[in-house]
Amino acid sequence: MKYEYILFDLDGTLTDSAIGITNSVIYALKKYDIKVDNRNELNKFVGPPLSDSFESYYGFSQEEAKTAVEYYREYYREKGMFENSVYDGIEYLLKTLKYNNKTLVVATSKPQVFAQQILEKFNIARYFAYIAGSNLDGTRVKKDEVIQYALESCNITNLPKVIMIGDREHDINGAKKVGIDSIGVLYGYGDRDELEKAGADFIVNTISDIEKMLI
């Protein structure tokens, strides 16, 4: 394939992070006396900016959502961040792509400081030229902003050589806004309908399918 620069989403693409994220959401919602009966309903929080999710799914105002994110991080910093695991096959994929001279970059809406810690904890930070994320103050949280920041930080200007890999519509929409191609993955937390509607250039079922596409 023509792609030389490979951007990866984190949650639902590199790592299976639902347990830590949903535990953190449950912790935050308890502060508002909101009880969650079905944890699986909270999987929709995996991927999108947190404040948007609190506003969309629970009708929080912007101010309430901002406070809910602070509560979320109380749990996430202590425990939730590492209630997480790297998908089987990801390290092999990263190693293979690096061996084939691809430049790998993380582009996540998660705060950059958390993303760095997670990837270092699981010993895969070493495969990436750069880890780009949002700021703790809630800025640079939209996916297109993160992707643009990642490209600028790595001095990547040849956009036809760049592709974004992610599991949710936000990854695909962000890539389209910036003008790069995208791969939607079905092993994460989005589904085919969501990725097709967002306009993913390619959709794959498995991690090994990514390797077949890019090498």
Q: What is the C-alpha separation between 212 and 70, in angstroms, rounded?
A: 41
Q: What is the C-alpha separation between 86 and 184, in angstroms, rounded?
A: 18
Q: What is the C-alpha separation between 138 and 53, in angstroms, rounded?
A: 13
CB 21 within 8 A of CB 45: yes
CB 210 within 8 A of CB 166: no
CB 134 within 8 A of CB 148: no
Q: For tokens 């800025």, what's the residue?
A: 139
- For this structure, is 37 an active site residue? no
Catalytic residue among 9, 11, 16, 171: 9
Which residues are annotated as catalytic? 9
